[in-house]
Amino acid sequence: MRQSKVVTVSIPPRLLRKAERLAQKEQRTKSEVVRDALRLYLNLQSDKGFRLAVRRRARALQIQSEADVERIVDEVRK
């Protein structure tokens, strides 16, 4: 059974040409290039959400610098 699904997407001609050139240069298919690009984008968005959550928590703990982190670690160790 096929592990992938075929989808139709609209891509501006210039972006498609760049993807085609990259695929040819790397001896890969356009599908591989697009899959990797989508994976990278999704990972970046996931990381972005994580960084936002960490920033919020740091703000709540009043962490503004590495020295603040060290201070909190020292307090916890006591």
Domain boundaries of the chain, sorted by first residue: 13-77
CB-based contacts of 38: which residues, under 8 Å, 6+ apart? none
CB 7 within 8 A of CB 21: no
Q: What is the pLDDT of residues 22-59, one digit of tens each?
A: 999 999 999 999 999 999 999 988 888 888 888 888 88
For residues 59 and 36, what is the distance between their CA atoms, to the nearest angstrom? 34
For residues 41 and 27, what is the distance between their CA atoms, to the nearest angstrom? 22
Band of residue 76 on the pLDDT scale cut at 50, 70, 90: confident
For residues 49 and 12, what is the distance between their CA atoms, to the nearest angstrom? 28
For residues 23 and 66, what is the distance between their CA atoms, to the nearest angstrom? 43
